[in-house]
Structure formats: structure tokens, C-alpha cells
Structure 1
Amino acid sequence: MPLPYFGLRARISLAVMLATLLATVSMAFAAYRLQADETRNRFELAARTSFESDLKQALYQIQYGPVTDPATALTAYMTREQGISWALLDFTSGGRPPDLWEGGYRVDAVVRRDDTPPVTLPEELVDYARRSYPEPVGKLDVDGYLVYFGAATDSLVLVEFYNMGGLNAELAKLRWSLAAIALVVSTAGVATALFAAKRIQRPVHAVATAARLLGEGELSTRVPVRGRDELADLAVSFNAMAGQVGHSISELQAKDRQQRRFIDDVAHDLRTPIAAMVAVVDSLDTADAEVRSRSARLLTAQTRRLARLVEDLLEMSRFDAGVADFRTEPVDLAALVTDALELSAPSADVELRVHGDVTLTGDPRRLHTVARNLLINAIGHGAEPITVTIDGSRPESVTLRVADSGPGIPDELLPLLFDRFVRGDRARQATEGSGLGLAIADQNARLHGAKIVAANDGGAVFTVTVPRGVTTTG
């Protein structure tokens, strides 16, 4: 059968109760044993002292008393003692010797002061006492009586009975007192256990409830932090986890929205050249040579546009997958920018300014893409003249700055400028760009540990500072 399930509160309460009960019982038992042993030792010491005193007085009476018979003298002395039960074993030749019974001497003829039980004294101890009187003293604990015996002469053995009823009553009272104390302490322990379990259960229950709410999508759920103990650490850790989960989910949602927008924009941008190509293909069957020539030129332009768009999309997919190829080698940034300028805008009004050492270590293909896309953006979205400045005066980095003379970047576009498919209205009307150029340039710059910064200063200004020794940052 499966074991019964106990909740956290029940387990904590049970553990505290068991620990309290065990500690209380152990302390009560230890206290009882210490007190009982101490009380018994005091009783035995008092009884032994009294017996030894009686034995010495009996010896004095035998030696110096007016009675010449030792047994009569000892009996006369002990008769005068009050409150003591005693007996005398007489081994003299003229008396009746004690009876042997089961290896001991039976003591029945006791001068009783109460219900003293008959005892059997071990034969070997009695014989030893007779041989070495008056020093040896024997002791027995029989039916609530402490029995001392010793030899007054080699033929007389004195036996005294000390009632332990008062001692046992006192120890019984002590046991009840300790039991009552243990019960009170255990009850207090149970109350404390229930209180502590509730105090511990409350924050744990709060964390469990918060976890359930977080799982249901309430990302703002947090647990109040009280105190500085382990439970407070649990609450802090949960809040940190909840914050991280919320941040991750927000990023995923933003990424999802971005991907949906990306797909919509891709579909929109692919639809335009494909529709134009379909329309042009239909016109290639015409007999008019001029129409066919114009259609062929339009088809070629749309095909190149589509090829560039597909290549840009493939490049962005490589960045998203983290598999973008990155191969570094020494690069002369001035020569690279000059080549990009000749390929992108050979007839544009562009002024190139170079300062200091402009060599660095990087991927020449990706740096060429950064420079080319910034130049294309300045020419297509800005206005001439354009100033390109390469500053290598700092030992740790080289700065590329592209500034145009256009109207600048609208303020509402500045935070979104490097997102995918972001184009202003003017750009959409005047160019056939895909809106991926700056996003691709920014990703290539990040691979070099750099970041493109856009600003307005008499036109749009794009600045990228590339470290001379590049490590891939992804």
C-alpha cells in the first residue's frame, strides 16, 4: 500500500513535535536519573553511617558494659534504639545457630518496627564478616528495605533494616513532576511547531501560487520579500527567475512580431518584382521590336532587383542562425572604401578624407558591405555632396564617418533605423531598396565588435568605430 501523503506543514509540525518530545523525554529522564541517584546515594550514606554507629556502640557495650554475655549486651543496647528494625544472628556455642536455607542464613526473628520482610543473608558474606569484624559491612536491597549487616564479634552478626518507602515516594513524586513538566513542554512544542509550520508554509504557498500564476501567463507576478532568511532568499530567487522569464517571453514575443512583420515585408517586396516580371514576360510575345526591347530591359532590372533582395534575405537568415562566415585579415580601410565608392556611386559627388593609420584586422568582405551600404543609403536617401571621413588617429580603433547633405533622418525613425524593412515615405517613393541595407550593415559591424550610430548634423551622419584587433562578437 502506498504511504500516506503528508503536506509540508504536517511534516514540519511532526518533525518539530518529535524533536521536542525526544529532547524533553531525554532531559526528563536524565534529570530523574541524576536526582534519583543523588537521593539514593544520600539515603545509603545516612543508613550506612547509622549502622556503623550502632555497630560501634554495640562493641563498646560488649567490651565495657555491666553484662558479661555479649548477646545479652547487644540485645539490650539495640532494644533502646527507636525506629530501627533489627535482627541478631547468634553463632555462639550455647545458642541456637541460624538456619541455612538456599545458600544463606534465614533472618525471621526480627525486632520489627514495621512490616519488615524476612531476608536471606548470603552465607559467604556472613562468614566473611565474622572472620574480619568489625570492618566489613554487607548491603542488600530487599522489598523496599535497605539491609546492612556486620559482625560485632566473631559469633554475633547484627542486621538492620532501613525502610526506603519515603525515598521511593519522593522519587515517585519526582517522576510525576518531571512527567508533568515534559507534558507542558511537549504541548508548548506542539504549539510552537504549528506556529512555525504556518510561518514557513505561508511564503512557500505564496511562491507556489505565484509559480502557478506565472505559468498561466501573468508575467508581472512577484512574491513579496520579508526578512533576510532562507525563505526571503527563495522569494528573491523566484522574483529574479520571474523577471528573467518575463524578459525572455517578451523578447520571444517581440521576435515573433518581428518575424511576422519580416514575412509580411518579404512577401510585399517579392510581390512587386515578380508581378512586374510576369507582366513583362507577357509583352515579350509582341511583334513590336521596341516593346520587346523595353520589356527585356525592365525584366533585366527586376531580375537584378529580385536577386539582390534574395541575397539580402539569405544574409539576414545567416545572421539569425548565427552561421555568418567571418574571416579576418589585415585591411586598408581607405582602399576598401574607395573600391566601395567606385562600385556603388562612381559619378556621385563624394569627398574622401583620411587621417592617420587606417589599417586594421577584420573581414574585408563584410567591411566592404558596411561601407557600400552606408554610401548607397547616403546617395539614395540623402543628398550630395557626401563626405566620407576615415580617422585612424587613435591607436585602438579606426572610425568611418559618412555624412550627406540631405534633410536628415526623421526623429520617429531614429530608434528604428537599423530594423529590417524600415523605410521612410520619401525612400519608398524615390528608391527601389529593400529596407535591409542598414540592418545588414549594422549586423556586419557588430561582428567586428562595433556599432553604427546615426545622427543628424546638417544631414544624416552615420558613424562606425571598428577596433583594430577584431574578435567575433556575434
Structure 2
Amino acid sequence: MRPHFGLRARIAAAVVFVTVAATAAMALAAYQLQANDTTSRFHAASRADFSSDLAQTRFVAQNLSPDHVVGYMDRESAVAWSVFDYSGEHPVVHGETPPVELPGWLLTAARSNEEPMSMQPAGTPYLVLAASPVDGVVLVEYYTLDSLRADLTKLRANLAGMALLVAVLGVAGALVAAKRIQRPVRAAANAALRLGEGDLGTRLAVRGRDELADLAGSFNAMAERVETSIVELRAKEEQQRRFVADVAHDLRTPVATMVAAADGVDSPNPDARGRAGQLLAVQSRRLATLVEDLLEISRFDAGVADFRAEPVDLADLWAEAIDLVGGEGITLRTTGDVTVHGDPRRLHTIARNLLTNALTHGAPPVTVTVDGTGRDVVTAEVADSGPGVPDDLGPLVFDRFVRGDRARTATAGSGLGLAIAQENARAHGGRIEVSTQDGAVFTLRLPRAVSEPRDPSDRA
């Protein structure tokens, strides 16, 4: 099983690796440059010192005699030296015993070359310089590399210490940087956990303009959408729960009445049978109306409501609706061009439901004013002479199963009329508004043309 490393450990490891690698590379490069420079200076200083001795011995040999070269070099104590004299039958070595074995080619080359010859025998701590100050004599000096190697060792130690210090600082910086990067990531993870547990108000603080700020902003936007969706789903769920309860309540009354009336059909009393039949007829019609309204609401909720648009004259449509509900106490006024492009059946439903509401929950006289003077919108205003809409009922008047006094009293209406009217208005891209003046005033606003039917579920 592979070991698991957290984000902080991986970030710290990456920063440490890069820091150590960069520091090691820089230290190695600095050492190479410094070592080359130090070695070059050592070689230059050794060559300058040897050249000075060579010049002095050459002067002594030329002005005195070659034998005086050894005497001059006897006074040189700063460096090990040897003088090879080839003037006799056998070469004679003066001075110190060579601390290194000299190759023959070096002495041969030095005898025939007045310029210094240099070499560094492998495995020895010496730099060897050789040259001939005068014919038959070879001067050799041995410069120890101990001081150079000590300097290089010290340089390596200094650079290693500096590299170690930088590496330690890099580790500390890596831990701090990893913690700073990990903190907002961990906060995002915790926020996502709280959001998943149902805390829909969870948000992240957005600081700066970097990628972490973008992450926080994206999380907040996602949380906002999730919260909105959850709230809408809960509202839908509550609406459906209330809808089912209201349907059950509204079905209970006609069904119970019909059951009781059915028992009276078998009564031997003709008057009882007549009352039972009358009750059955009234409650059957009420039940049929309720079922039709429920089916219409379900079509809107499912988004499958039929919509067939055509030119509609609202003056004729409202006049027909007034005749249908009973024209007593209703006045119709029209101005301008009142033709719209819409579904006549659904527009007729809006008009009929608004008129029925005005007569049922308001009071006559009722005035209907259709205004077609606007270029893009036609309005239809239904004003009754009743008590108006209470302030606390105004926001709920278009909700399903809401009745005039907000009590679930047994009335002929289903409490769905205004809800269906509003859904039909939305399907046309319009809306219905309510206000109270001398009575309740319902204002329908419709666009003259609807390019395509709106989704009734869109409450925007």
C-alpha cells in the first residue's frame, strides 16, 4: 500500500526539493569558480616566485660562475629546491632530495628550455617547476599544495554551511508556504462538508485575486446556486404537501355530502328523495368543477398545458365572459386597439375567473376597463365595490386554495380560480396584479404578441 501524503506535505516536499537542488547547484558552481580562481592564483604566484629565483640564479651564473647558483639557493628557505648539475661526466644533485620522483622528460625539457616547465605529479601534494638558468644546470623548485588544499577545504566547508543554512531556511519557508496554501484549501473542504450536511449559508471569504480567491468565489457561486435550488425544492415540496392536504380537504365536503345524499335516495319520502337528488346534482357539479380545476393546475405544473395562439378581440371576449357569469351589475368599457395574439380559451378563463371572484368575494357594481392605447401592452382592469383585499392577504391571493377570508369555509368556489388565472396570464407572458381602492382591483397586463408560450413554472 502506497503511503498517503497530505497536500501540505507534498507542497513542502516540492519546495524543499527545489530549494535544496537549487542551493546545491549554486554551491557547486560557486565552488568550481572559486576553486579554479584560487588554483590559478596559486599557480601564478608559484610561477612568479620561481621566475624571480630563476632570474637571480641566471644573473649569478652569468656574472660569477655556475657554481655560485647552489650558494645562492642555499639562502632560499621558503621553498624546497634542487639543482641538477650536468657539467661533469655524471649529473650531480645539490640541495634537498627531491620529495617527488621527477620524470626524465621534465629534466630533459628543462635543460633545453629557458622558460619554466611545470607539472603536478599524480598522488603528490606538490607543484613542480623546472628551468635552466645556464647551460648544464637545471633548477627545480617544489611548491607544496597543502595551503591550497586547506583553502579549498575551508571553501567547501563554508559553502556547505551556507547551503545547509539556505536549505534549513527553505524548509522553514516551505512549511510556512504550505500552511498558507493549505489553510484556504482546508477551509474550502470544511465548507463543502458543512454545505453537504445542510448548512446552506456556508460561504468562503474571498481574499486577493489569485487562484485561491477564484476557488473561493467559485465555491460561493456554487453554494448560492445550491442554496437557491434547495430552497426552491423545499418550497415546491411544501407547496405539494399543502396542495395534497387542500385537495383532500376540498374533496371531503362534496364526497361526504354525496354519500349522505345517496343514502336519502332510497327514502320512501318523496321530499327526501328530491332533496337528496338536488344535493347529488349540486355536489356532482361542484366535484366536477374541482376536478377540472385540479387537472388544469396539474397541467401547468407538468409544463404540458395546451397553448394555441391566434388574434383575439378582448372586447368581444370580455363581453362574452360577462354574459356567461351574468351581466347584472357589470359594466364594460374599452379604449384603443384591444386586439392581442393569444389563446382565446385561456384568456376567456382569465376573464371568467376574475369576474366570478369580483361577484363572489366583492360586490356589484363591477367595472371592467380594457385599455388598448399602449403600443405593446393591453391592460384589463376589474374593479368591484366590495371591502377590498386585506393587506395580509394581498401577497397570498394568487396562491392555491386561498379564499377571501383566508379561512377554509365551505363555499362554492374551489380556491383555485385566481391561481389558474395567474398561470394563464404567465403563459401569455403577462401577469395579474391586485390592489385596493374603493374595492378590490385586479389588473391583467398582456403583451400584444406572444412569440412562443411561456413556461408557466417560470415565476420570473
CA distance in 2 between counterparts of 1:361 and 1:372 reads 19
Provide the identity percentage.
55
Q: 1:127-169 deviations in whole A, cap 9, x for unaligned? A: 66666x3357444364222233455578655443222211211
Change beyond 3 A, Cα 1:321–1:110: farther
1:369 to 345, 349, 357: 349
Q: Is residue 381 of structure 2 the alignment partner of residue 401 of structure 1?
A: yes
Q: Is 2:350–2:421's contact at 8 Å kept on the other side of the alignment?
A: yes
Change beyond 3 A, Cα 1:50–1:342: farther
Instruction: State the secondary structure of the residue aligned to 2:369.
Output: strand
Change beyond 3 A, Cα 1:96–1:447: same
What does residue 458 of structure 2 align with? none
2:147 to 150, 158, 166: 166
What does residue 21 of structure 2 align with? 22
Amino acid at match of 1:17: V
1:86 to 81, 85, 106: 81
Q: 1:82-101 deviations in whole A, cap 9, x for unaligned? A: 4223345666684449xxxx
Q: 1:168-212 deviations in whole A, cap 9, x for unaligned? A: 111211222222222233333333333333444444444433433
Amino acid at match of 2:78: G
Amino acid at match of 1:335: D
Change beyond 3 A, Cα 1:136–1:372: farther
2:397 to 403, 417, 420: 417
Change beyond 3 A, Cα 1:431–1:54: same
Amino acid at match of 2:226: V
Moved more, 86-95 or 257-266: 86-95
Amino acid at match of 1:49: A
What does residue 190 of structure 1 align with? 171
What does residue 12 of structure 2 align with? 13
TM-score for the superposition, normalised by structure 2 = 0.85
1:317 to 286, 298, 304: 298
2:443 to 440, 463, 466: 463
Instruction: State the secondary structure of the residue aligned to 1:425.
Output: coil
What is the 5 A alignment of 1:445-464? 445-464=425-444
What does residue 250 of structure 1 align with? 231
Q: Is 1:13–1:190's contact at 8 Å kept on the other side of the alignment?
A: yes
Amino acid at match of 1:177: N
Change beyond 3 A, Cα 1:16–1:110: farther
Q: Is 1:149–1:157's contact at 8 Å kept on the other side of the alignment?
A: yes
User: What's the C-alpha RMSD, in Å, of the aligned pairs?
Assistant: 3.2
Q: 1:98-137 deviations in whole A, cap 9, x for unaligned? A: xxxxxxxxxxx68449xx74144484x7766666x33574
2:337 to 342, 357, 360: 357
What does residue 438 of structure 1 align with? 418
CA distance in 2 between counterparts of 1:336 and 1:55 reads 130
Moved more, 255-264 or 233-242: 233-242
CA distance in 2 between counterparts of 1:426 and 1:384 reads 21
Moved more, 421-430 or 41-50: 421-430
Q: How far 1:401 moved relative to its partner?
A: 1.4
CA distance in 2 between counterparts of 1:440 and 1:428 reads 18
1:338 to 298, 313, 319: 319
What does residue 245 of structure 2 align with? 264
Instruction: State the secondary structure of the residue aligned to 1:162.
Output: strand
What does residue 103 of structure 1 align with? none
Amino acid at match of 2:427: L
Moved more, 392-401 or 21-30: 21-30
What is the 5 A alignment of 1:93-108? 94-96=89-91
CA distance in 2 between counterparts of 1:259 and 1:159 reads 111
Instruction: State the secondary structure of the residue aligned to 2:151.
Output: helix
What is the 5 A alignment of 1:117-132? 117-121=99-103, 123=105
Change beyond 3 A, Cα 1:175–1:283: same
Amino acid at match of 1:140: Q
* Matched residue count: 453
Moved more, 279-288 or 3-12: 279-288
What does residue 105 of structure 1 align with? none
What does residue 64 of structure 2 align with? 66
Change beyond 3 A, Cα 1:147–1:432: farther
CA distance in 1 between counterparts of 2:243 and 2:291 reads 13
Q: Is 1:328–1:364's contact at 8 Å kept on the other side of the alignment?
A: yes
Q: Is 2:393–2:406's contact at 8 Å kept on the other side of the alignment?
A: no
Moved more, 349-358 or 86-95: 86-95
2:328 to 314, 323, 348: 348
1:211 to 192, 196, 202: 192
Change beyond 3 A, Cα 1:322–1:112: farther
Q: Is 2:83–2:95's contact at 8 Å kept on the other side of the alignment?
A: no
Q: Is 1:138–1:150's contact at 8 Å kept on the other side of the alignment?
A: no
Q: 1:5-53 deviations in whole A, cap 9, x for unaligned? A: 2233333333333333233323322222222222122222222333344
Q: How far 1:268 moved relative to its partner?
A: 0.8
Moved more, 260-269 or 358-367: 358-367
CA distance in 1 between counterparts of 2:88 and 2:428 reads 126
CA distance in 1 between counterparts of 2:5 and 2:432 reads 61
Moved more, 28-37 or 426-435: 426-435
Change beyond 3 A, Cα 1:181–1:426: closer
Q: Is residue 175 of structure 2 the alignment partner of residue 180 of structure 1?
A: no
CA distance in 1 between counterparts of 2:429 and 2:264 reads 50
Change beyond 3 A, Cα 1:254–1:53: same
CA distance in 2 between counterparts of 1:95 and 1:60 reads 25
Q: 1:45-78 deviations in whole A, cap 9, x for unaligned? A: 222333344445555555x3332x5xx4654554
Instruction: State the secondary structure of the residue aligned to 2:382.
Output: strand
What does residue 100 of structure 1 align with? none
CA distance in 2 between counterparts of 1:192 and 1:402 reads 75
What does residue 40 of structure 1 align with? 39
Q: 1:314-366 deviations in whole A, cap 9, x for unaligned? A: 222222223333333333332332333333x1333222222222223333332
TM-score for the superposition, normalised by structure 1 = 0.83
CA distance in 1 between counterparts of 2:72 and 2:178 reads 71
Q: Is residue 318 of structure 2 the alignment partner of residue 298 of structure 1?
A: no
Q: Is 2:314–2:339's contact at 8 Å kept on the other side of the alignment?
A: yes
Q: Is 1:13–1:193's contact at 8 Å kept on the other side of the alignment?
A: yes
